[in-house]
Amino acid sequence: MAGDGAAVRLRDVVKVFGKKVRALRGVSFEVPRGAIYGILGPNGAGKTTTLRIIATLVRHDSGYVEVLGHRLPDERNLVRGRISYLPEDAGLYHRLTGWENLLYFAMIYSDTLEEARRMAELGVKLSGLSERDIHRKASEYSKGMARRVALARALMVGAELVLLDEPTSGLDVFSAYSIRKIIKNFAKSSGATVLMSSHNMLEVEELCDRVILINKGSIVAEGEPAELKERAGAANLEEAFIKLVGGVS
Ligand code: ATP
């Protein structure tokens, strides 16, 4: 149970939406504590569903899910305060400044205003926004700036497990680069476990210790990026993915 090394443990997890949409068809994997894992797959592969099950937001239909040593959904209340989830479409309160967004969120996680301030200060540091920018209204932010604040908000709370759903989607190369840098520095300094989804092979290759390739609700392969490339006889992860999935459909 807790402390035995796995932050996340999934066995034969099935999720069906409605009567027909088999989002997950028996997914099994483990993420050791302190690792950065990537879930990679095309649209509709089941990445968000997997993350939302682990984040205690969606109940699986069958199979076994354990997060930080606790079984879901029964023990979800023992997990919720220890994880953090950044949805793909995570937004900010537009009328508030970046700082106010961080402080507002920090207050939910803190017992005192002082504690909340310290947490929000950490958020500012993580976001990398200048003193001037962090005090601008979120409505004035570029997409990249907004994402940096949203990411900082998810990282600053001291979660043991951080779940990031496509943290760089829709961002230009510069913004995506700074987001990756934030994640990398955070993982190195905090020792937290990070599980992130992505479409971006380069990103996953650069950031993740191991990658889980998922397609149509099933895991196609899992391994270190280099190992997957070698297994598929591919020059890069993109080519490996296409080969392992069985071609372009
Ligand atoms: P994307 O990269 O496009 O975000 P994804 O890999 O995250 O895709 P999911 O969002 O997990 O994929 O979706 C997996 C399947 O489950 C898709 O067919 C999707 O339409 C379906 N699905 C997801 N959530 C729901 C829901 N709440 N109700 C019905 N179907 C859903």
- The pair of structure tokens assigned to 97 is 């400044």
Mean pLDDT of 10-22: 95
Mean pLDDT of 146-161: 95
**Domain-wise residue ranges, the chain:** 6-245
Number of other CB atoms surrounding residue 32 within 10 Å: 15
Number of other CB atoms surrounding residue 191 within 10 Å: 10
Decide: 45 in ligand 1 pocket, CB within 6 A. Answer: yes
Residue 203 has pLDDT above 90, yes or no: no
H/E run at residue 26 = strand 21-32
pLDDT of 248 reads 53
Residue 64 dihedral angles phi and psi, to the nearest 5°: -120, 130
pLDDT of 2 reads 40
Distance CA 184, CA 206 (A): 9
Sign of CA dihedral 29, 31, 37, 38: positive
Residue 249 has pLDDT above 60, yes or no: no
Mean pLDDT of 10-33: 96
Q: What is the pTM of this model?
A: 0.93
Decide: 39 in ligand 1 pocket, CB within 6 A. Answer: no
pLDDT of 9 reads 98
Query: What is the tens place of the pLDDT at every residue in 68-123?
Result: 999 999 999 999 989 999 998 888 999 999 999 999 999 999 999 999 999 999 99
Q: What is the mean pLDDT of the chain?
A: 92
Q: Report CA(21)–ligand 1 centroid distance (Å).
A: 9
CATH-assigned architecture of domain 6-245: 3-Layer(aba) Sandwich (3.40)
Residue located nearest, by CA, to atom 9 of ligand 1:
46
